[in-house]
Amino acid sequence: MVYLDHAATSPLCDEARVAMEPYLTERFGNASEPHAPGRLAREGLERARAQVAELLGCEPRQVVFTSGGTEADNQAVFGLAGRPLGRLVVSAVEHSAVLEPARELERQGFDVAWAGVDSDGVLDVAAFEQAVASGDRLAAVMWANNVTGALQPVAELAAICAERGVPLHVDAVQAAASLPVDFRSGGAETIALSAHKMHGPKGVGALIARDPARLRPLIWGGGQESGLRSGTENVAGVVGFAAALAAVRGKSDRRRELRDRLERALPELTVVSDGADRLPGHSLLLVEGVRAELLVLSLDRAGYAVSAGSACASGDQEPSHVLLAQGMTPDHARSVIRVSIGITTTESEIDGFATELRDAIERLRAGALV
């Protein structure tokens, strides 16, 4: 099986596995306990925190480990929104981990302004500037889109927010998996990360917050993570996360080369968000006249794992809100496949995939109603 769905999840890299192993066996202690096993766990936890902080350009106290990207996004949106009711600005192309918290706030009575994107899925900066107003509780924008791979001009947007004193939350789950995301220069108030998208373990992520103390916790209990995220720390996971983050650094160019090789091999297909800066290993291909779900099944049978548009939207009837937001027709939005490349992907895998994709399209078009 050739795996080309790294934007959905990615296999654990050797670096992460080796780093985790001691914490799954002899270093099993509870990091809150003062005895030797506890101290060993604490050391591992804090070393990982320091490493993550170093790689992301922030201070260790600004790193709050969570159970993953979804929790980090929820914590940021609900934590920044706070009370009483107010207003927030959210991009129309957010992952559901931001979208659904925003919709929930809307149901609770918050006023949500949805910021639109252009046909490449990039935020309209002028419209965003109009939308964000002093006194807004937060703005939320994703660094890189999980469907199209399109990157947002985060620094520019953060500057607009800073002028108005509005905290900006950035979902960097996809971006941090293949780009050298830097918290300080990005200018956001909070960013969310997930380990398993970057060859780390599932079930762990982080919220990086300029000032964690200003956020109201979502989860209450023993007061771990400076009181913001209670629950016995997932030390093995956190250690694996830090190791994975280090391992993927510097491996963008290779993924970009492979992605470009694939797109060059299939000139007859339209690349979605081609006009935008995109994640290096990410390609969303429009295959007109074929339903993507069927193409995914056909490629699966041939030994290739890719995704139809977005993993979270497949299985229900609605085409991706991201693609509709950038003006794609519902028919086209249901005819896209997402190819996402990992650090172990090879040239021959890409070449084999391009050949198989072309065959599968031909087979399916023969039986398609056009």
Partner 1 sequence: MYTAAVRDLALDASRAGSAGPDAVAGEAGDAGCGDAVRIELAVASGRVVRARHRTFACPHATAAAALACSLAEGRDLLDAARIGAGELESALRPGPHNRECVALAADALHAALARAIETAQLEQSARRVVVAMSGGVDSAVALIKTLDAGLEPVGVTLRLWIDPNAPDTERACCSPQSVRAARSACHAAGVPHVTLDLRERFHEHVVGDYLRGHAAGLTPNPCVRCNGSFRFDALAAVADRVGAERLVTGHYARIVRLDGRPALARGLDPEKDQSYMLARVPEGILARVWFPLGEQRKTETRAQARAAGLEAAGRRESQEVCFVGGGDHREFVERHGGAGAAGKVVDESGTVLASHGGVHRFTPGQRRGLGVGGGEPLFVVRVDGGSGQVVAGPRRALARSTVTVVPGAMSTPVRRVEAKLRYRSRALPATVREIEGGLVLDLDEPAYGVAPGQAAVLYDGDVVVGSGVIAR
Q: Does position 301 bind partner 1 by CB under 8 A?
A: yes
Q: Does position 369 bind partner 1 by CB under 8 A?
A: yes
Residues with Cβ within 8 Å of 257's Cβ and at least 6 positions away in sequence, in order, are none
**Whole-angstrom Cα distance, residue 59 to residue 46?**
12
Residues in contact with partner 1, counted by CB under 8 A, come to a total of: 20
Q: Does position 291 bind partner 1 by CB under 8 A?
A: yes
Q: Does position 363 bind partner 1 by CB under 8 A?
A: yes
**Whole-angstrom Cα distance, residue 139 to residue 268?**
38
Q: Which is nearer to partner 1, 213 or 370 (CB)?
A: 370
Q: Does position 303 bind partner 1 by CB under 8 A?
A: no
CB distance 306 to 282 below 8 Å: no
Q: Does position 358 bind partner 1 by CB under 8 A?
A: no
Using alpha carbons, select from 212, 225, 171 the residue that is nearest to residue 193. Answer: 171
Which of 25, 134, 317, 348 is close enough to bind partner 1 by CB under 8 A? 317
Which of 294, 311, 312, 324 is close enough to bind partner 1 by CB under 8 A? 294
Is 13 part of the annotated catalytic residue set?
no
Which of 35, 107, 315, 348 is close enough to bind partner 1 by CB under 8 A? 315
Which of 298, 307, 340, 345 is close enough to bind partner 1 by CB under 8 A? 298
Q: Which is nearer to partner 1, 194 or 298 (CB)?
A: 298
Residues paired with residue 206 on neighbouring β-strands, in sequence order? 65, 193
Q: For the residues of 75-124, what is the DSSP string, one character each?
A: HHHHHHH-SS--EEEEETT--HHHHHHHHHHHHHT-EEEEEPB-TTS-B-
Which of 331, 346, 347, 359 is close enough to bind partner 1 by CB under 8 A? 331
Cis peptide before 34 (omega within 30 of 0): no
Q: Does position 159 bind partner 1 by CB under 8 A?
A: no
- How far apart, in Å, are the Cα atoms of 119 and each of 234, 286, 300, 358? 41, 14, 30, 26
**Which window, 26-34, 39-47, 196-204, 309-317, contacts partner 1 (CB under 8 A)?**
309-317
- Report helix, strand or coil for 206: strand
Min. distance of Cβ 331 from partner 1 in angstroms?
Answer: 5
Q: Which of 13, 58, 161, 312 is catalytic?
A: 312
Catalytic positions: 312
